[in-house]
Amino acid sequence: MSPKKTTTQKTVNNFYAIIDTGAVRRINLTQDVSASIKEVFVSAGVRLTNSELDEVKFDGNYVIDEGEILYVKMDLNAAVLEVLSNGIGIPVLKLKTETIKTLFWVEDKIFYFQNFDSRKLLINRNIIVYNNQTYDALKEDAFIVDNAVHAIYADGKFKFLSYANANKIFSLSEFYVEATNRDLTKFSTHDNISIIDQQWFLDHSNSVIRKQVTLLQKSKILDGANTKTIKKDAKEFNLMIELDKNKKIIFPKDIKHCKEVLVFLNEQFYVGLITGTKYRTNSKRTI
């Protein structure tokens, strides 16, 4: 009688994790499981890979609508890119000792990313599973894969719908930088700006103020601007902008008013072209 043959399922290497150190780890899957995980990522990623989406370059100043997607042009780091050339050589994930930051699937050179946190780990927990009309304990370490894709990378673009989610995968700080105290101090010395109390301005500048200052500095709108015209135009929107004796725009000790002045200077007040109605927007996009 010939010995009974045992069959082993071939492992597939399209599934990886980025751990908290930034290193990449391979997650070996059997062929059966691989098909299921591929379906999760590719299906959930359809919303982001849709070619009909209007791509909007991310600068921290635009809130996307339905049918739009944000993106930044960037290069993936070498550790992540290695999966394309040396996937089999990447170390296997050690679930007990390594902390997963992000899961990702690679298919046709498209990277599908999913955020991960410790709540999805099933280690040292009393997990009960149902099998053949009987409940039993899950004895092996495991983790949960959500039916979600928070960002994709393809053709040199990192695309996403939510800045908060995307920033957990890769830092987007270089694309969206809030003004530091040093930036605010420099801003206060601009030829067209008069800040009555610089220390008060530093102490009370919140995230919105710092974001607006960054945008204003990048655009250089104030350089060579006619402040008397700015004051006159602001009145059209019932916004009172005062000038000092040197015709500099005064930023008073009123954070709400400072914010309104910054928003106006960043050209986020506008008049409807058809009705002439006056509006204020919380984001803008260059056409």
Report the share of the chain in percent with pLDDT over 70: 91
Enter the tokens of residue 153: 């990378």
User: 118 in helix, strand or coil?
Assistant: helix
Of the candidates 177, 178, 185, the residue with the CA atom closest to the CA atom of residue 202: 185
Span 59-80, mean pLDDT?
88
Residues in contact with 224: Cβ distance below 8 Å, sequence separation at least 6, in sequence order: none
Amino acid at 228: K
Residue 130 to residues 91, 127, 133, 134, 181: CA-CA distances in angstroms?
Answer: 33, 10, 7, 6, 57
Span 130-139, mean pLDDT?
74
- How far apart (Å, rounded) are the C-alpha atoms in residues 240 and 108? 56
**2 pLDDT exceeds 50?**
no
Q: Which pLDDT score is estimated for 286?
A: 62
Which stretches of the chain are DSSP H helices? 31-49, 78-86, 163-169, 181-188, 198-204, 207-219, 227-235, 255-265
Say which residue the tokens 């104030």 belong to.
Answer: 222
Q: Which pLDDT score is estimated for 280?
A: 65
- How far apart (Å, rounded) are the C-alpha atoms in residues 53 and 228? 42
DSSP run (H or E) holding 71: strand 68-73
Distance of CA 22 to the CA centre of its chain: 17
Q: Which pLDDT score is estimated for 4?
A: 47
Residues in contact with 18: Cβ distance below 8 Å, sequence separation at least 6, in sequence order: 24, 25, 79, 80, 100, 101, 102, 104, 169
Q: Which pLDDT score is estimated for 173?
A: 77
The answer to whether 116 touches 103, Cβ cutoff 8 Å, is: yes
pLDDT of 9-39, one tens digit each? Answer: 556 679 999 999 999 999 999 888 899 999 9
Span 92-103, mean pLDDT?
92
